[in-house]
Amino acid sequence: MITALAGGVGAARFLQGLIKIVPKKELTVIVNTGDDIQLYGLHVSPDLDIIMYTLAEIVDKEKGWGIQRDTFHCLELLQKYGHETWFKLGDRDLATHIQRTLLLKSGLSLSEATSKLCRSLGLKVKLLPMTNDKFETHIKTGKDTIHFQEYLVKRGAQDKVIDVMFEGAEEAQPAPGVIDSILNADTIIVCPSNPIVSIGTILSVKGVRDGLRKTKAKVVAISPIVGGAPIKGPADKLMQGLGLEVSTYSVANLYRDFLDVFIIDNIDQAKKERVEELGLHTVTTNTIMKSLQDKIQLARVTLKSVESSSQI
Ligand code: FO1
Per-domain residue ranges for the chain?
Answer: 35-129
Atom 13, ligand 1: residue with shortest CA distance: 46
Planar angle of CA 260, 240, 148, nearest 5 degrees: 90
Cα–Cα distance, 91 to 59 (Å, whole number): 14
**What number does the ligand 1 atom closest to the CA of 194 have?**
26
Ligand 1 within 6 A of CB of 66: yes
Buried b (16+ CB within 10 A) or exposed e, 130-151: bbbbebbbbbbbeeeebbbbbb
Cα–Cα distance, 303 to 307 (Å, whole number): 7
Q: At what angle do helices 91-105 and 46-55 cross, to 10 degrees?
A: 120
Going from the Cα of 31 to the center of ligand 1, the distance in angstroms, rounded, reads 15
Is residue 310 very low, low, confident or very high in pLDDT (cuts 50, 70, 90)?
Answer: low
Atom 21, ligand 1: residue with shortest CA distance: 46
Atom 19, ligand 1: residue with shortest CA distance: 46
Going from the Cα of 34 to the center of ligand 1, the distance in angstroms, rounded, reads 13
Going from the Cα of 145 to the center of ligand 1, the distance in angstroms, rounded, reads 19
Q: For residue range 125-160, what is the model confidence (pLDDT) as tens digits?
A: 999 999 999 999 999 999 999 999 999 999 999 999
Domain 35-129 has CATH 3.40.718.10: no
pLDDT value, residue 233:
87
Q: For residue range 271-282, what is the model confidence (pLDDT) as tens digits?
A: 999 999 999 999
Ligand 1 within 6 A of CB of 36: no
Mean pLDDT of 68-94: 98
Query: Which segments within 21-73 are labelled E, that is strand?
Result: 27-31, 37-39, 42-44
pTM: 0.97
Residues 6+ apart with CB under 8 A from 17: 289, 292, 294, 295, 296, 297, 298, 299
Ligand 1 pocket test: which of 59, 62, 63, 65 has the largest number of ligand atoms within 8 Å of its C-beta? 65
Q: Is 35 helix (H, G, I), strand (E, B) or coil?
A: coil
**What number does the ligand 1 atom closest to the CA of 87 have?**
6
Residue 54 has pLDDT above 90, yes or no: yes
Q: Determine the straight-line distance between the first and last CA of the chain, rounded to whole angstroms.
A: 22
Is residue 49 very low, low, confident or very high in pLDDT (cuts 50, 70, 90)?
Answer: very high
- Report the amino acid identity of residue 19: I
Ligand 1 within 6 A of CB of 34: no
Residue 213 has pLDDT above 60, yes or no: yes
Residue 47 has pLDDT above 50, yes or no: yes
pLDDT value, residue 312:
46
Ligand 1 pocket test: which of 88, 139, 148, 155 has the largest number of ligand atoms within 8 Å of its C-beta? 88
Cα–Cα distance, 65 to 153 (Å, whole number): 13
The DSSP code sequence of 128-140 is: EESBSS--EEEEE
Q: Is 83 helix (H, G, I), strand (E, B) or coil?
A: coil
Helices (H), the chain: 9-18, 46-55, 73-80, 91-105, 110-120, 148-149, 178-183, 199-204, 208-214, 235-241, 248-255, 272-276, 292-310
Ligand 1 within 6 A of CB of 234: no
Mean per-residue pLDDT of the chain: 96
Q: Is 24 helix (H, G, I), strand (E, B) or coil?
A: helix
Going from the Cα of 107 to the center of ligand 1, the distance in angstroms, rounded, reads 26
Cα–Cα distance, 177 to 126 (Å, whole number): 10
The DSSP code sequence of 152-179 is: IIISTT-SPEEEEEEETTTTPPBPTTHH
Mean pLDDT of 229-248: 92
- Bridge-based pairing of strands 261-265 and 281-285 is parallel
Planar angle of CA 292, 30, 212, nearest 5 degrees: 110
